[in-house]
Every structure is written in structure tokens, then in C-alpha cells.
A = this chain, B = another copy of it.
Amino acid sequence: MLSRSKVLIKPSQEQAAELLHYALQNQLLAILACNCKVDYHGRASSRLEWGERLVIIKRDRSLLIHRNTGYEPVNWQPPGCLFHVSFSEGNLLVRAVRKSPHEVVDIFISDLQLAAALELSDYGAFAMYLTEEDMKQAVLKNPFLIEEGFQPITEERSLPTGFVDILGRDSKGNLVVVELKRESADREAIIQLYRYVEHLRKGNPSVRGIIAAPKITKSAHILLKALKLEFKQLTPEVCSKYVKRGEGEPLKSLT
């Protein structure tokens, strides 16, 4: 193995302690699969009785204790806390201390199934983009994204055929149906929009239908013209400027 990673299966408490020191020293990620008991005191207090869990200490000295179910860790400590490894009453004791606010997590470990120190080389960029729902919010708050003078009437309106993304009026008072797509608009999207517009045109022939998407497929564009509908280019990236959302998160270096 090229990396400095080490894996121990069914290690003793002493071997696990040594591995933890090794991981902390070298800023590796440490995992323990172990039988443990956890006490927390700080902003609140908690007690977790004995059971087998996954204990993770990351490179930035954050701590996660995960049970075998659930998204959230049962106990944790944020990055930057101090670790102290010792032995107490026949157990391996891992103490994680946070300074401000003062919080302490004590993990008493009896047996271990697995202990690993992993070197995870990770420089991949993480980027978050918007959903259709977010595009809708951007348009509702900034109607000019559709066109100058556009005014939404209601956010959503139930029709026999389904739901309209955005219903509004243009500067001349014409009813406008807007259908949003986060990705390229295809024929299916055009048909969906046409169903809404057709229904409304029965009582009002001047109803307009606009599909707002980053781009439109060639066949969809042909269909669009035939049905007298319109296309407005609208990208999630542009919307993101109006509903600000984390759109990129460079890796922070550990100082």
C-alpha cells in the first residue's frame, strides 16, 4: 500500500490506542468499530449505554460516533477539539475536548472489531447547483428573469391536467403560463406546457406559454413553434445569482 493507511482487525485496546496516536500524529482519518459507552457534557448532557458503534476521528480532529441506523451521529465533536487517549478501568478511554463552549465527549471502549488509520487524499471540488424549485423561487422574486413586465399571479395553480409552475400576466395583461426545466427542455416538457395552455386558451385565446430552461432540444423547438409556444433561456447558474446558494466549496487547508 503506497499510502500511510493501516488497518487492524480485532486489535487489542493497546494496539488501537497506538493506532489512534499514529492517526492523530499524521493527520489521518481514524475509524474504530467497537463496543463502547459514551458520556457527553457541554451544552447539554447525554449518556449512551454500551453497544457497538462506529467511531470516526477525522483529519481536522472532528469526532463522529455513529450507530447502525440514522443520518445523524449519536454523539460528536466539531473540528479542532483536543483528543486524549488513556486507559480507565479496563477500558480504552478516548476523550475529546472542545474549548469554547466547553464540551467533553468520553468514549469508553472495551472490544474492537476493527481499527483503521486511513490516508484519504481528497482534492476533488464540490459544487452545488439549483433545483427546479429554486429556479421557481428565483423567478417569483425576480419576474424580469422571464421578461420585462412579467408579473406572477399565484405561485401555483391546480388545473385538471396537473400543476402550473408559474402563472402570471405580461405587460399587456395577457395570461402567461411558465414551465420551468432545470435541464434541457424536451418534447415531453413542451407537451406538458401545451396541456396547460390549451386548457386556458378555451376561454381566452391570447394565453401565452413560455418554457424556461437552459436549452431546448431541436425536436422540442420544432414542436414549440407549431404549438405557438415560446422559449426563454434560463439557467440554474443565472438563477443562483438571485437566490444565492453555495455554488462551490474549495477545500479548506488545515492550518
Residue numbers of A with Cβ under 8 A of B are 1, 3, 5, 7, 9-10, 29, 31, 33, 37, 42-54, 56, 58-60, 62, 64, 66-71, 74, 76, 78-79, 113-114, 116, 118-131, 133-134, 182, 236, 245, 251-252, 254
B68 adjacent to A79 (CB under 8 Å): no
Q: Which of chain B's residues have a CB closer than 8 A to the CB of A123?
A: 51
The answer on a CB contact under 8 Å between A69 and B74 is: no
> What separation, in Å, do the CA atoms of A47 and B252 have in the docked complex?
17
Please state if A46 and B122 are interface contacts (CB–CB under 8 Å): no
Q: In the complex the two chains form, what is the Cα distance from A135 to B126 in whole Å?
A: 41
With A113-B3, A113-B118, A128-B45 already in contact, the answer to whether A62 and B54 are too (CB < 8 A) is no
* Alpha-carbon gap, A64 to B76, bound state (A): 15
Contacts of A48 in B (CB 8 A): 124-127
Our pick among B37, B71, B122 for the contact of A51 (Cβ within 8 Å) is B122
Of all chain B residues, the one with the shortest Cβ separation from A27 is B68
Given A59-B68, A129-B46, A245-B44: A53 and B113 interface contact (C-beta under 8 Å): no
Judge whether B74 and A33 touch: CB under 8 Å.
Answer: no
Q: How far is B222's CA from A128's CA once the two chains are assembled, in angstroms?
A: 61
- A sample of 14 cross-chain residue pairs with beta-carbon separation below 8 angstroms, ordered by A number, consists of A7-B9, A31-B54, A33-B118, A33-B120, A44-B128, A44-B129, A45-B131, A48-B126, A49-B124, A51-B122, A54-B120, A64-B71, A69-B79, A114-B116
